C-alpha cells in the first residue's frame, strides 16, 4: 500500500466535502483557544463550547485566570470532567504565561509544551489554529481511529501515530488534515457504526475496523 498516495487521496476527497475545515472550539483569541483546548481533554467540543462563553465572561484575561480561586473555577468547569486537575492546570498556565511571556502565547512548540497543562497535542492546536503554524499534527481520538481504519498507520499510540502521519502527509496539509478527520469522524466514520456505505472515500479506504 502506498500510504503517501492514500493520504493524498483522503485529503483531496474530504476537502470536497469540507472545503473550509476549522477548529470546532469557539474562541476569540489564542488564550481562549488554549483554555478551551485544555478543557476539551476527555470531553466533547460541544460541551466545552457550552461552558466557555460564561467562563470567559467571568475570567476575561490570563490575569483573571491567574488570580482565580481554584474552588470557584472548578465549579465553572465542572461539567467538562476532570475539573480539579483542569482548574489547577489553567491557573498555573496563566501564572506561567504572565511570568515567562508577559501574558502572550508563545508561538513555538517548545515554549508551549513547557506551560502547565499543555502537551504536544494542545500545542499543535494552538499553533495551527491561532497562528497558522504547522509544527505537528493534532492526534485526537478521531484521528487515532480514522487513521487506523484508513490504513495510514498501524500504530495505536498517539505520539507514534503523529510520527507516521508526518512522514506521509505534506506539511502544508498538517493543520487541515486533523480538522478533516475530526469532521468526518463526527459525521460519518463514527466509533460504533461507521457509515461506510455512504462514505466519500469508501472506494479506496481499506476499512480496517
Residues recognised as catalytic: 121, 140
What per-residue string of b and e applies to 38-64 under the rule 16 or more CB within 10 Å gives b?
bbbbebebeebbebbeebbeebeebee
Rg (CA), the chain: 18
In contact, 39 and 78? CB cutoff 8 Å? no
* Residue the block writes with cell 460564561: 54
CA distance 141 to 189: 12
In contact, 55 and 35? CB cutoff 8 Å? yes
Amino acid at each position: 500500500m502506498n500510504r503517501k498516495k492514500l493520504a493524498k487521496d483522503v485529503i483531496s476527497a474530504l476537502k470536497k466535502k469540507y472545503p473550509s475545515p476549522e477548529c470546532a472550539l469557539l474562541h476569540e483569541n489564542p488564550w481562549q483557544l488554549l483554555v478551551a483546548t485544555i478543557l476539551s481533554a476527555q470531553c466533547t467540543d460541544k460541551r466545552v463550547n457550552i461552558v466557555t462563553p460564561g467562563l470567559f465572561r467571568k475570567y476575561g484575561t490570563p490575569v483573571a485566570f491567574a488570580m482565580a480561586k481554584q474552588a470557584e473555577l472548578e465549579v465553572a468547569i465542572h461539567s467538562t470532567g476532570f475539573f480539579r486537575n483542569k482548574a489547577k492546570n489553567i491557573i498555573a498556565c496563566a501564572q506561567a504565561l504572565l511570568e515567562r511571556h508577559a501574558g502572550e502565547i508563545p508561538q513555538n512548540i517548545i515554549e508551549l509544551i513547557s506551560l502547565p497543562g499543555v502537551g504536544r497535542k494542545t500545542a499543535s492546536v494552538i499553533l495551527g489554529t491561532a497562528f497558522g503554524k504547522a509544527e505537528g499534527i493534532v492526534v485526537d481520538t478521531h484521528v487515532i481511529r480514522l487513521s487506523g481504519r484508513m490504513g495510514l498507520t498501524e500504530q495505536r499510540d498517539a505520539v507514534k501515530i503523529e510520527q507516521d502521519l508526518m512522514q506521509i502527509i505534506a506539511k502544508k496539509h498538517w493543520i487541515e488534515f486533523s480538522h478533516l478527520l475530526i469532521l468526518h469522524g463526527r459525521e460519518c466514520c463514527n466509533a460504533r457504526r461507521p457509515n461506510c456505505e455512504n462514505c466519500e472515500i469508501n472506494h479506496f479506504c481499506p476499512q480496517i475496523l
